Chains A and B, each alone.
Chain A
Amino acid sequence: DTAVSQTPKYLVTQMGNDKSIKCEQNLGHDTMYWYKQDSKKFLKIMFSYNNKELIINETVPNRFSPKSPDKAHLNLHINSLELGDSAVYFCASSPSYSGRDEQYFGPGTRLTVT
């Protein structure tokens, strides 16, 4: 019974392509996040949604567009992929948007742009 799931697990694509990553949580949480983990393991928040509403939007290129069709799903679409987009992308969820409770991470999507 997976709490936070992401698809795909691996994504290899060429520069300039457009790709999407999907995330789903079955924990009944109100808040979902996208994080980027680079090759140095640094974890940086990209976006946060609470009940389908955008709460946090970090300084991320507008090639990245999140979409939350309902509070259990948060997808990430990336246009015109660049080499620097190669990273592991983690989805996470938490009960509230306060940030002061546990965040449950998905298994990650390893994106490689060639």
Chain B
Amino acid sequence: GENVEQHPSTLSVQEGDSAVIKCTYSDSASNYFPWYKQELGKRPQLIIDIRSNVGEKKDQRIAVTLNKTAKHFSLHITETQPEDSAVYFCAAILNDYKLSFGAGTTVTVRA
């Protein structure tokens, strides 16, 4: 989206390695940052989210960090597994209740 930039667009990692996806946003008033995972041919599903009152959140092998000053947030996947292969979308909420999505990162985990 024009308000959320996401990098890289594709990411290939060896099974067991870590994957990191970075997003930047433009609206300093944004205070909610979800991450969605979309497997091939399936619907997007929320995997983790973070609100602006915390700097980091972790759920098993997935973690998200937020730097409000720099207006960027990142998704970290550790010990990647083949089932982590999917398209990952970051998003940020804008003032008018609208979620703006990044362009997506296609993650491929090589066995």
Contact = CB atoms under 8 A, between A and B. Distances in A.
Interface string B25-46: 0000001101000100011111
B30 to A, nearest CB: 10
Given A41-B104, A42-B104, A100 B51 contact: yes
Interface in A68-114: 90, 97-100, 102-103, 105-108
B99 interface: yes
Contacts of B106: 41
Contacts of B97: 48, 55-56, 97-99
A67 interface: no
Contacts of A103: 46, 99
A63 interface: no
B44 A42 contact: no
B101 A44 contact: yes
**Interface size class, chain A:** 20 to 34
**Interface size class, chain B:** 20 to 34
Contact of A56 (B45, B46, B96): B96
B32 A90 contact: no
A54 interface: no
B75 to A, nearest CB: 16
B49 A48 contact: no
Nearest to B106: A41
B103 A42 contact: yes
B61 interface: no
Contact of B98 (A43, A45, A90, A102): A45
Interface of A: 40-45, 48, 55-56, 58, 90, 97-100, 102-103, 105-108
Given A44-B101, A55-B97, 17 more contacts: A40-B103, A41-B103, A41-B104, A42-B101, A42-B103, A43-B44, A43-B104, A44-B1, A45-B98, A56-B98, A99-B98, A102-B34, A102-B46, A105-B45, A106-B43, A107-B42, A108-B43
Interface of B: 1, 31-32, 34, 38, 42-46, 49, 51, 87, 89, 93-94, 96-101, 103-104, 106
